Amino acid sequence: MAQTPCAVLIVSVDIEQYVNRVFEAMGHGALDAVNTPSLTGQGGDAAALLRKIHNIGWLIGQSSSRKASVSVAAPAAAAARRLVAIGASAGGPAALASLLKQLPHDFNAAVMLVQHVDEVFAAGMADWLAGESALPVRLARDGEQPQPGLVLLAGTNNHMRLQRNGTLTYTEEPRSHAYRPSIDVFFDSVVEHWSGEAIGVLLTGMGRDGAQGLKNMRNRGYTTIAQN
C-alpha cells in the first residue's frame, strides 16, 4: 500500500473469526470489510457486499472538500471537563489508529469515537485499537459517563448520544439517518449537553454524516478539525 496505494475491500468467509487480522489490514489502509455472500443467495450478505463496493466507489470518485477549521475556545468556566469527540467512516480504522498513537497514556480528556462499523465487528475493533494506543479502549456502555484517559467506541447499530446528566445512551431515534451509529447525532448531543471544553474531529469517510454536527460544534464555540 505504501508503494502502490489502491482501494481494498476485505471479503472474508467469517470476519468475526479473523477480526484481528481484518483490523490489522485496515490499519495498513484497507477501507472496509464484509462477509463472503452465501452461494444460496439467502440473507443480506450479497446486498451488503454490493453496498460496500458502491460506497468505496463513491469515496474514490470524490475529491474531498473538507478543510480543517478551528473555532474560538469554549468558555473558560468549563475548562475542568474536556472531551474529544471523533467521527469516522470508510477508511476510519487506520486514521483512528494513527491518531490514538499520538495520545500519551496520561491524556487528560475523555475520548469518544463513532465509527461506521456493524456492531458485530465493534468489539474486535475496540480490542485492535487498544493494541494501537497507550490509552485503554473499549465499547461504550449505556448509562456510563465519559472519563479522562479512557477511549470509548460506539458499540451498537443504534445512535450513541450524550444525555443531560452527562451519561451515554443508545437510541434508535432518529430513524431517518442512513448511517447507524450517526456521527451527526452524537456531535449534536455534545452541543446540547456537554458543559466543558470539547474538540470535534471528523476523519476520513464518505457521505455527509458528521459535517453538520461538526459545524454545530463550531458554532457552539468548540474547537473543530476535519481531515482534508
Is 89 a residue of the active site?
yes
Q: Which residues does 32 contact at the CB level (< 8 Å), separation at least 6?
A: 9, 10, 26, 52, 55, 56, 90, 91
Catalytic residue among 32, 116, 133, 184: 116
Contact indicator for 51, 179 with CB cutoff of 8 Å? no
Q: Which residues does 171 contact at the CB level (< 8 Å), separation at least 6?
A: 158, 159, 161
Catalytic residue among 32, 184, 188, 209: 209
Q: Which residues does 176 contact at the CB level (< 8 Å), separation at least 6?
A: none
Residue 100, helix vs strand vs coil:
helix
Cell, residue 175:
430513524
Question: Rounded distance, CA 223 to CA 228, Å?
Answer: 16
**Residue 27: enclosing H or E segment and its boundaries?**
helix 19-27
Catalytic residue among 32, 89, 159, 189: 89
Comparing C-alpha atoms, which of 73, 69, 66 is closest to residue 224? 69
Burial class (CB in 10 A: 0-12, 13-18, 19+), 87: buried
Contact indicator for 29, 95 with CB cutoff of 8 Å? no
Instruction: Give the residue numbers annotated as catalytic, written as ranges.
Output: 89, 116, 209
